[in-house]
Structure 1
Amino acid sequence: MLELNSVGLWLIFPLLSLALYLPPSCLLASTESWEPRARAAFEAGQLEVAQRLAEEALTDPATVGAAHELLGRIALQKRRSEEAVSHFQAASAKGRLSQEVEKDWATALLNLGKYREACELMENSLSRDSSQVDLRYRLAGSYLAQGKYQEAWPHLEEAYRRGLRHAGVLLQLARTRFAVGQDDRAAELLESVSQETSSPDLLWEIGKLLFERLLYPQALFPLRKAWEQKPGSYEVGMYLALSHYLIKQYGESERVLAAIQAGPTPPLDYCILLGSVYARLGRWEQAQRELEKAIRQSPDRADGYLNLGLFYLERGDSKRSMEMLEKGSKVMVKGTKLLYSMRDRDSCDGLAPPQASNNQDSARGEFYGKLARALQHTEQRSSALGVYLLALSVDNSAAAAYAGIGHICWELDSPVVARSFLQRGLELHPNNPDLHFSLGLLFQSLGQIDESIKHYRKAIELQEPNAPALHWTQLGTAQLAGSKQMEIDAEGSFRRALERDPGFAQAHYELGKLYFQRKDFERAEQSFENAVRYDPLLLRAYYQYGLMCIRHGKSEKGRALLDTFNRKRALHASNEQGMSLSSPVSSPVFP
Structure 2
Amino acid sequence: MKGLSRNTRILLILLAVSIAVFFAIHLLEEKEIYELSKEMVKEGEKYYQKKEYKKAKLFFDRALKRYNDLIILKIIRKDEIQKLKERIENDPILQKVAKGFIYYNGKWVNEKQLEALMKEKRRLKQKIDIYLKTAKFFGSIEDIENNITIYQNAVKEIEKSPFNNDTEIKQLKGKLIGKIIFLSKEAAKKYKQQGNLEKAAYYYELVLKYTDQPSLKEKLFEIYMKNIDEYTAEGKYIKALETALKAKKLHINDSVVLPKIDYLLSKIDTEEILSRKIEDPYIYLALAKKSYDRFDILEAQRLVEKSLNLNPDNVEAVILYGKILFTTGEYEKAEKLVKEAISKYGENPEALLILGNIYLKKGDFKNAILYLQKVSNNKKVKDRLFEAYKKLGILKLKEGNLKEAKDYLSKALDIKDDPQVYFSLGEVYFSTKEFKKAEKSYMNALKIDPSLKKNVKNRLSIIYFELGKREKNKNKCSQAVNYFKKAITYGGENSKIILLIAECYEKIGNTEKALAYYGKLKNQRLKEKEAVLYLKLGEEAFKKKKYFTALKNFKRAISLDKTLEKKLKSNIVSSYVQIGKIYYSQGKYEKAIQYFLKATKIDQSQKEKLREYMFDTYLTLGKKYFNSGMYSTAFDYLKKAEKIKPDSKSLLSYLGEIYLVENNYKKAAQYFEKYISKYGKNPEIISRLATIYAKLGNLKKAKNYAEEILNSSKHSGLAYYIMGAYSLYYEKNTVNALQFFLKAENRGYKKGELYYYMGRIYYSKGNYLRAITYLTKAIEKGYRKENVYFLRAISYLKLKDYRKAINDLTAVIKLNPENAKAYYLRGKLYYEHGNYVKGEYRKAIEDLEKAASMGVKEAAALLDEARSKR
TM-score (norm 2): 0.24
Please say which structure displays the higher CA radius of gyration: 2
User: Whose helix proportion is higher, 1 or 2?
Assistant: 2
Which is bigger in relative contact order (C-alpha 8 A, separation at least 6)? Answer: 1
TM-score (norm 1): 0.34
